[in-house]
Structure 1
Amino acid sequence: MSVQKGSTIAAAWPASLLAFENKIYPLNESWVRSGLGHDYNVDSNSIKTAPVLHYNGKMKPWLDLGIPNYKSYWKKFLNKENQLLSECNVNS
């Protein structure tokens, strides 16, 4: 990561904290199934029963390089009529 990019991220963090103050809460770690953006060996039953799916990692489901086995879980919530999504690089 470049110094400039790191500085931009660091500068944006306090603003986002103010914007979302008292509007977000941490989730219990047991609710979240992480790894869907980098781990090819996530158990399908743990995905099906998880209240929250976290596609952490570089292989996001909306990108061509997303892990194919996990894309369907994301696609069922994709609103293809959303203007923002239709203008972005969302591959479905």
Structure 2
Amino acid sequence: LWQTFVAIPAFIPYAALLIYSSITANWSKSAEYVAWENVFAETIRLLSYTFFSTQFYVTLISSQGIRKQVRAVFTGKNSVSVTT
């Protein structure tokens, strides 16, 4: 459920960008207009990566087992031992 709240705001602007790019692909545009389009496009692409980068945090917040494992790793109480 939490992933849905992250995915929708991350991908709606990206979908709008793809639609806009398809519609305006053959339009005549000035260099300044293209530059501004590129700024907005890269910003939207950057925001779409938030979905992938926040998956760890969403899982960490929503899963008690994962929180315990992460806490054990950072406090040095890791129960996994490696023998050679």
Bin the TM-score by the shorter chain.
under 0.3
TM-score when normalising by structure 1? 0.24
TM-score when normalising by structure 2? 0.26
* Max Rg structure: 2
Task: Point out which structure has higher relative CO (alpha carbons under 8 A, 6+ apart).
Answer: 2
